[in-house]
């Protein structure tokens, strides 16, 4: 596909709010296995690692937001019995980094992110040693252990809410439903600086995408779709209008506060747009989800750039298939040039593939000196847990010209979707994509 064609392909899907494609089948929960005793593998089990002294804090801070009764994970990990009976299993899943679910490498080889759900090597080793030592409990006095299980926004300025409850279908396991949220902002010049999703039915609400409309015409078109569907909201896989995604949330995620002093500009008087992926495997009940917002009247606006690569025609069991493309889209031509007197802060990335994706990487190169800048490295893609990842420190682009490369790998042997004959690029849940979004802010620098 030529550059022009690719650009228009990406543009077309982008303008239809491609982020709605995030949603799809949520992996069926496996039933808990019994813990089996570990065998010696040279880790050394003589140190005094106990549940009460070390492990509880690690599990509470990294697992319990999902692994608690009534939350999204299939079993709780909030008592000694729950954790110790699965010690070996837990050790294996944290060592392979299957849990906690995260898509970006946070080792520091390619930046560090504030919200990557990444256990330190030290914590992983502690869990392994503890499991090998037979998962000792230690002191039963947990009163001195402080944990931050539930976090919430420290200030709520505005609340969005579905106008009437929606009960997801019992026959469709994974359902995508869109809702207009009519609590528009009544003052001009405000930006969204943070949000917190309060799912109505915690068992079914799996992912949420919060967006804003780009024009009044899009609002009108969307109201027509909403009116045509007699139930609350309307069915919407594949995108319906030109919207800008301002918030992504997956079950187990806490509140999101954008980096200090930044926010997505909001248009006074326009409704918000929410897409919900419902998963009905644990039963359904009426859902009335709310989103709490934090607003700012002084925020530097966050903009979105993106990169993307064309998807080759793929057949099952043909190994790893790779695609790559160089070009940055969204601020003029495919090369980004920052003039003297300005700088650009890259504050977050959002890599996106569908289900057979296995690896992705995003990088920038500064043309003047060919300096390579790694933006994100996805070593093991997990479709169900994609997120926008915010850097611990923004990547600062000084004046100069930059080009970007997006690369993706697809595993046609292991990730293939049963029953699908071939895969091409597109918007459907069994089509593929290779996209990376980049959140940035522009700053004026003293000359
Ligand atoms: C963001 C939510 C979330 C967090 C955080 C999380 N889990 Fe999970 N976990 C799940 C869900 C959901 C499943 C069910 C399988 C799946 O969807 O991957 C699961 C499955 C598991 C499994 C079974 C894996 C298998 O082989 O099927 C283990 C063990 C586990 N989690 C341990 C942990 C531990 C230990 C932590 C913290 C270090 C943790 N999880 C953090 C959501 C989470």
Report pLDDT digits (tens) over 290-300.
999 999 999 99
What are 72-124's pLDDT values in tens digits?
788 999 999 999 999 999 999 999 999 998 899 999 999 999 988 899 999 99
H or E segment to which residue 132 belongs: helix 121-132
Residue 274: closest CA among 156, 155, 182? 182
The ligand 1 atom at the shortest distance from the C-alpha of residue 62 is 37
**Of the candidate ranges 37-46, 253-262, 352-361, the one whose mean pLDDT is the lowest:** 37-46
Name the H helices within 187-297.
Answer: 216-228
Question: Which 3 state secondary structure label does DSSP give 55?
Answer: helix
Residue where the block lists tokens 């679910």: 101
Q: ∠ at Cα 17 (390, 24), nearest 5°?
A: 80
Residue where the block lists tokens 């995260």: 102
Question: Which 3 state secondary structure label does DSSP give 378?
Answer: strand
What are 122-163's pLDDT values in tens digits?
999 999 999 999 999 998 877 666 554 457 899 999 999 999
The ligand 1 atom at the shortest distance from the C-alpha of residue 90 is 29
- E-assigned strands of 310-433? 320-326, 336-338, 342-353, 357-366, 371-378, 389-397, 400-411
Nearest Cα residue to atom 28 of ligand 1: 90
- How many whole angstroms separate alpha carbon 122 and alpha carbon 62? 14
- Domain ranges in the chain are 3-15+301-444, 51-132, 152-299
Residue where the block lists tokens 């709520």: 156
What per-residue confidence (pLDDT) applies to 174?
A: 78
What are 320-338's pLDDT values in tens digits?
999 999 999 887 778 999 9
What percentage of residues in the chain have a pLDDT greater than 90?
64
- How many whole angstroms separate alpha carbon 3 and alpha carbon 330? 15
Residue 33 Cβ < 6 Å to ligand 1: no
Q: Please check whether residue 384 is in contact with residue 27, taking contact to mean a CB–CB distance below 8 angstroms.
A: yes
Q: How far is the CA of 76 from the centre of ligand 1 (A)?
A: 10
- How many whole angstroms separate alpha carbon 22 and alpha carbon 4? 26
Residue 131 Cβ < 6 Å to ligand 1: no
Question: Which 3 state secondary structure label does DSSP give 358?
Answer: strand
Parallel, antiparallel or unpaired: strands 342-353 and 434-444: antiparallel
Residue 67 Cβ < 6 Å to ligand 1: yes
CATH of 3-15+301-444, one of 3.40.50.720, 2.60.120.230, 3.40.50.150, 3.30.1370.160: 2.60.120.230
The residue that leads in pLDDT, 206 or 187, is: 187
What per-residue confidence (pLDDT) applies to 270?
A: 96
Q: How far is the CA of 431 from the centre of ligand 1 (A)?
A: 27
Residue 72: closest CA among 128, 105, 27? 27
Nearest Cα residue to atom 15 of ligand 1: 29
Burial of 212 (0-12, 13-18, 19+ CB in 10 A): buried
- E-assigned strands of 135-190? 158-161, 174-181
Q: Please check whether residue 174 is in contact with residue 24, taking contact to mean a CB–CB distance below 8 angstroms.
A: yes
47 CB neighbour count, 10 Å cutoff: 13
| Distances from the Cα of 223 to the Cα of 126, 234, 288, 341, angstroms | 54, 10, 19, 43
Mean pLDDT over the full length of the chain = 85
- How many whole angstroms separate alpha carbon 312 and alpha carbon 295? 42
Q: Please check whether residue 335 is in contact with residue 378, taking contact to mean a CB–CB distance below 8 angstroms.
A: no
Residue 99 Cβ < 6 Å to ligand 1: yes
Side-chain half-sphere exposure of 397, counting CA atoms within 13 A: 28
Residue 157: closest CA among 198, 107, 195? 195
Distance of CA 252 to the CA centre of its chain: 11
Res. 392: pLDDT tops 80: yes
- How many whole angstroms separate alpha carbon 381 and alpha carbon 377? 10
Question: Which 3 state secondary structure label does DSSP give 382?
Answer: coil
Band the pLDDT of 15: cuts 50, 70, 90.
very low
Query: Which positions ≥6 away from 79 have C-beta within 8 Å?
Result: none
Nearest Cα residue to atom 12 of ligand 1: 73
Nearest Cα residue to atom 35 of ligand 1: 90
Mean pLDDT of 427-436: 83
Q: Which residues pair with 310 in a beta bridge?
A: none
Q: How far is the CA of 75 from the centre of ligand 1 (A)?
A: 9
What are 199-250's pLDDT values in tens digits?
999 888 888 889 999 999 999 999 999 999 999 999 886 555 678 888 888 7
- How many whole angstroms separate alpha carbon 36 and alpha carbon 182? 52
Q: How far is the CA of 209 from the centre of ligand 1 (A)?
A: 22
DSSP state of 230: S
| Distances from the Cα of 353 to the Cα of 100, 183, 407, angstroms | 20, 32, 11
Q: How far is the CA of 394 from the centre of ligand 1 (A)?
A: 29
Q: Which residues pair with 360 in a beta bridge?
A: 378, 408
Sign of CA dihedral 183, 188, 192, 193: negative
261: left (phi over 0), alpha (psi -120 to 50) or beta: left
What per-residue confidence (pLDDT) applies to 13?
A: 34
Longest Cα–Cα distance of the chain, Å, equals 68
Q: How far is the CA of 142 from the centre of ligand 1 (A)?
A: 24
Domain 152-299 has CATH 1.10.3720.10: no
Distance of CA 10 to the CA centre of its chain: 20
Parallel, antiparallel or unpaired: strands 400-411 and 434-444: unpaired
Nearest Cα residue to atom 17 of ligand 1: 27
Query: Which positions ≥6 away from 150 have C-beta within 8 Å?
Result: 65, 254
Pocket test for ligand 1, best of 36, 89, 93 (most atoms within 8 A of CB): 93
Pocket test for ligand 1, best of 71, 99, 197 (most atoms within 8 A of CB): 99
Mean pLDDT of 161-189: 92
Nearest Cα residue to atom 27 of ligand 1: 30
């Amino acid at each position: 596909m030529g550059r022009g064609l690719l650009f228009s392909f990406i543009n077309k899907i982008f303008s239809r709010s491609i982020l709605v494609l995030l949603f799809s089948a949520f992996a069926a929960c496996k039933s808990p296995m019994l813990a089996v005793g570990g065998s010696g593998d040279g880790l050394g089990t003589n140190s005094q690692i106990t549940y009460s002294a070390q492990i509880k804090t690690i599990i509470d801070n990294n697992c319990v937001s999902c692994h608690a009764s009534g939350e999204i994970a299939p079993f709780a990990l909030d008592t000694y019995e729950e954790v110790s009976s699965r010690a070996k299993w837990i050790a294996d899943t944290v060592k392979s980094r299957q849990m906690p679910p995260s898509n970006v490498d946070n080792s520091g080889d390619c930046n560090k992110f504030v919200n990557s759900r990444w256990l330190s090597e030290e914590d992983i080793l502690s869990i392994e040693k503890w499991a090998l030592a037979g998962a000792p409990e230690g002191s039963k006095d947990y009163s001195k252990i402080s944990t931050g299980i539930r976090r919430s926004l420290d200030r709520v300025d505005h609340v969005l809410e579905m106008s009437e409850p929606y009960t997801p279908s019992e026959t469709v396991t994974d359902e995508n439903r869109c809702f207009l949220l009519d609590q528009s902002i009544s003052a001009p010049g405000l930006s969204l600086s943070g949000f917190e999703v309060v799912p109505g039915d915690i068992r079914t609400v799996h992912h949420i995408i919060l967006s804003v409309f780009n024009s009044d015409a899009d609002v009108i078109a969307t109201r027509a779709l909403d009116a045509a569907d007699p139930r609350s909201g309307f069915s919407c896989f594949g995108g319906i209008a030109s919207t800008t995604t301002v918030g992504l949330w997956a079950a187990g995620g806490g509140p999101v506060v954008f980096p200090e002093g930044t926010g997505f500009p909001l248009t006074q008087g326009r409704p918000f747009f929410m897409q919900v992926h419902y998963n009905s495997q644990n039963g359904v009940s009426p859902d009335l989800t709310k989103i709490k917002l934090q607003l700012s009247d002084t925020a530097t606006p966050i903009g979105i750039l993106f990169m993307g690569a064309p998807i080759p025609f793929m057949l099952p069991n043909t190994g790893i298939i790779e695609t790559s493309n160089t070009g940055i889209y969204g601020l003029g031509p495919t090369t980004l040039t920052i003039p003297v007197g300005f700088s650009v802060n890259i504050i977050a990335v959002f890599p996106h593939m569908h289900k057979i994706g296995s690896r992705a990487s995003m990088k920038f190169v500064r043309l003047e000196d060919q300096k390579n800048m790694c933006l994100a490295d996805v070593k093991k893609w997990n479709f169900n847990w994609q997120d926008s990842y915010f850097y611990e420190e923004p990547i600062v682009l000084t004046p100069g010209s930059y080009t970007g490369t997006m690369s993706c790998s697809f595993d046609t042997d292991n990730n293939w979707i049963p029953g699908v004959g071939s895969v091409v690029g597109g918007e459907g849940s069994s089509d593929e994509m290779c996209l990376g979004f980049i959140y940035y802010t522009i700053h004026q620098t003293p000359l």
